[in-house]
């Protein structure tokens, strides 16, 4: 289905099964989309600001340059998604699955990633100011050229970090100051 550049502000598509849909450049701000299935959909340049996407399936979607500021993505499946240059400022991603996702140049300032699965993510040149990583899983993550400086004083309780790539010394300080890990990983 093709809905490119359509205005669906405040629409209610709760539980809809719309796999492979094209919403390129569409306005879905403040939409009610819990439990929606958008697997393998084209969501490039779409606006989902302040939308409810809790428990949504967005896996394998193309979300390049999508705007998700303030969106609720709690328990959402965002695995294998292209989120390059996406805006997720103040987004709620509690317990979301973001494994194997491309997140280069993403803005995540103030986002809540509490309990999120961030395994095998490429977060090159990402802005992470004030992000809550409490209980998050950071396995095989690439933070090269990302801004973590302001996230140093954020909550990092129970975070599991196994392998990371990072070019900033701030992350090493952050790692030693805030992360706890089992003794057998030291």
Select the more confidently predicted residue: 141 or 177.
141
Mean pLDDT of all residues in 34-57: 98
Please name the residue that has the structure tokens 């598509």: 13
Percent of the chain with pLDDT over 70: 79
> What is the average pLDDT score of the chain?
84
Select the more confidently predicted residue: 180 or 100.
100
- Confidence band of 185 (pLDDT split at 50, 70, 90): very low
Cβ neighbors of 144 (< 8 A, separation 6 or more) are: 124, 125, 165, 166, 167
How many beta carbons lie within 10 A of that of residue 45, not counting itself?
19
Percent of the chain with pLDDT over 90: 61
> Hey, what domains does the chain have and what are their CATH numbers?
1-186 (2.160.20.80)
Check whether 157 has a pLDDT greater than 60: no
Length of the chain: 186
Region of residue 131 (phi > 0: left; psi between -120 and 50: alpha; otherwise: beta): beta
> What is the predicted pLDDT for the residue at 170?
44
3-state secondary structure of 149: helix
What phi and psi values does residue 87 have, to the nearest 5 degrees?
-105, 120
- Confidence band of 132 (pLDDT split at 50, 70, 90): confident
> What is the predicted pLDDT for the residue at 149?
63
Select the more confidently predicted residue: 123 or 22.
22
d(CA 102, CA 118): 11
What phi and psi values does residue 150 have, to the nearest 5 degrees?
-75, -10
Alpha carbon distances (Å) from 127 to 86, 153, 168, 170: 11, 15, 13, 13
Check whether 85 has a pLDDT greater than 70: yes
Render pLDDT for 105-118 as a digit per residue (tens, 0 to 9).
999 999 999 999 99
């Amino acid at each position: 289905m093709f809905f490119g550049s359509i205005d669906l502000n405040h629409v209610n598509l709760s539980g809809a099964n719309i796999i492979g849909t094209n919403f390129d450049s569409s306005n879905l701000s403040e939409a009610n989309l819990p439990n929606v299935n958008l697997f393998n959909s084209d969501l490039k340049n779409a606006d989902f600001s302040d939308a409810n996407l809790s428990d949504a399936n967005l896996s394998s979607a193309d979300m390049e340059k999508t705007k998700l500021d303030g969106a609720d993505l709690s328990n959402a499946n965002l695995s294998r998604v292209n989120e390059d240059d996406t805006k997720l400022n103040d987004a709620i991603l509690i317990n979301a699955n973001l494994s194997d996702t491309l997140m280069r140049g993403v803005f995540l300032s103030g986002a809540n990633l509490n309990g999120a699965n961030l395994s095998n993510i490429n977060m090159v040149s990402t802005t992470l100011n004030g992000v809550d990583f409490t209980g998050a899983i950071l396995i095989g993550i690439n933070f090269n050229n990302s801004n973590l400086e302001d996230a140093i004083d954020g909550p990092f309780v129970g975070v599991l970090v196994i392998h990371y790539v990072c070019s900033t010394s701030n992350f090493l300080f952050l790692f030693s100051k805030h992360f706890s890990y089992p003794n057998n990983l030291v």
